[in-house]
Every structure is written in structure tokens, then in C-alpha cells.
Amino acid sequence: MLYDDLASSELERQRFCRAQGHGFLGICSFVSLADEQVQSIASRQITAPSWLVFPDNAQLWHSKRTLEYVAGRKAAALAMTHLGHASHPVEANLDSSPCWPTGIKASISHNNKLAICAMLDGFNRDLNGIGVDIECCQSVADNIMNPSIIVNNRERYRLIQASFGFEKALALAFSVKESLFKAVYPNYRKYFDFLDVQIDTIDIVEYDTALPVIDATKSILGSCVEPKGKVGIRLLNGLNPSLPKGTLFVAEFEFTKDDVITRLVY
């Protein structure tokens, strides 16, 4: 079992949240890039455990990329174990996307502090996929000099009206479109651009203690008193007969002090 490889202090730091919404039961697991085991594996100080297989080109990666990969795979292994699956290694496809074991629908994301794995419970056969994304709001603002590559004029007007400011709203738009791509791409293997989808609505809900994704991770993320809510997002171009132009999706979002986390299930 995966837990046999973890020190008790690590088990105390690892937190999970079963997310109940949209008629599904799933889980989000969070792993810090500063995690001692992640650091030791990434620096090759210890042998990679059974839940981790490096791709052939991993020797060419810089240290940050290695840390992100190890933390993301550890988050995936923890989620699989917690949901009762054998913690098989999640290898990489040729396009670098995760190659999930048969029957598992999940998504991985990371920023410079955390890796996240969101995974659907295997009993939810009526759901097609899940996408999760975490972004540092300041990093998005610093790296996207031209917002028009992310949002169209109608979306930009909507973001300007957001009560939490344009910088956070742009990070939200970037993140929610990433979550949509991660949810849809494994099933159809078709790329689409940021401007192929449009944010139609941003609904803020009042903060409470029943956070759908991260209420059990406050020891890592800190106190979450920032806005959260739902985003309505629509395909402007169809992907296939099952996902035609105009298909609507709903994503959930949560701001922390520095980051935005989004999750989309369809």
C-alpha cells in the first residue's frame, strides 16, 4: 500500500476532501512541492517508489519540472489509494498528458507551491471526465501581456466587472479554460484554443465552511476567505457530435490568498 511508504508526519500533512456536487463523489488530493519525500525523489537521493515511473526524457528536465512531476504523481497515487484503487504508476502519453489506468477519470495540476489531483469515484460511470487547475494570480498577470489571447472582448468586459478585480478575474478565466481542456481532451484527443470557449457567467457565492474542493487543505493553503463560486462556460466551436457548438459547462472556483483553483466535471 502507498501509505506504507509515508511517515506518520506526512500522513498528518496529507489532507483530502471528498467533493459532493453535480451528482458525483470524488476526491482532491494536495501535495506540497516542498514535501520531503518529493524533494528526495526529485533529487534522486532515494529510489523512486512503486507509484512513480519517470519518462525517458526526464533526465533532461530542470529541477522544477522534476519536482512538479513527482508531486503530481504522488497526489495521484494518494487519491487512487484513498478511493480504493491500486496505486498504479501514472505514466505520460506521447503528448505529455497523464496516461490514467483503465477506469480512472482524473486530472493533475500544479503551480510553484502545490500539486493537485482531482479524481472521480469509479462508480460514477455517467460522468465523462474531470479537470482541475491551480494558478498563481500574479504569475498569470505577469506572463500574459495581451489578455486578448485568453479572452474575447465580451469576456473581457465581464472580467472587468468582477468584484475581485481584473487581475484575479483573468487568472480565473485562464484556469477555468485549462480545467475544461483537461476534462474533455482525454476523451476526444482534440486540441482547442482559449478563444474557442467563452465565459458567459461568473457567480459569486458567500464564503462558508463547506468548501467543495479545499476545505480539508487549510493547513497547506492557509485560511480561505477569498471569493468562490461558479463559472458558466460555453463552446464557441464544436469539438464533435457529442460536444457541438453551444455546449454549456459549469466549473467551480475558489480563490486563496495568492492562487485560484478551478474544477470542472461533465
- Residue 42 gets which letter from DSSP? H
* Cell of residue 213, nine digits: 474542493
Question: What pLDDT score was predicted for residue 29?
Answer: 85
Residue 229: how many CA atoms within 13 Å on its side-chain side? Answer: 16
Residue 226, pLDDT score: 65
Query: What letters, b where the CB count within 10 A reaches 16 and e where it falls short, cover 21-47?
Result: ebebebbbbbbbbebebbbebbeeeee
The pLDDT of residue 2: 36
Give SS3 for 205: strand
- pLDDT of residue 179 exceeding 60, the answer is yes
Per-residue pLDDT tens over the stretch 81-119: 888 888 789 999 989 899 999 889 999 999 999 999 999
Check residue 24 and give its pLDDT.
44
pLDDT at 143 over 90: yes
Q: Which structural domains are found in the chain, ordered by start?
A: 2-127 (3.90.470.20), 132-265 (3.90.470.20)
pTM of the complete model: 0.85
* The pLDDT of residue 171 is above 80: yes
Among 246, 242, 243, CA closest to 234? 246
Q: In which order are the strands placed within the sheet that holds 114-120? A: 16-21, 24-32, 114-120, 106-110
Quote the mean pLDDT of the chain. Answer: 83
Contact 230, 251 (CB under 8 A): yes
For residue 147, the 8-state DSSP code is G
Amino acid at position 86, single letter: A
Cell 486530472, residue located: 107
116's CB contacts (< 8 A; 6+ apart) are 28, 29, 30, 72, 75, 108, 109, 110, 132, 134, 261
pLDDT tens digits along 215-227:
333 333 444 446 7
191 in Cβ contact with 263 (< 8 Å): no
Residues 26 and 118 sit within 8 Å (Cβ to Cβ): yes
The confidence score (pLDDT) of residue 257 equals: 86
Instruction: Give residue 223's pLDDT.
Output: 41
Is there a contact between 106 and 100 (Cβ–Cβ < 8 Å)? yes
Helix (H) or strand (E) holding 188: helix 166-188
Instruction: List, for residues 16-66, the tens digit of each pLDDT value.
Output: 344 444 444 578 888 999 999 999 999 999 999 999 999 989 989 999 999
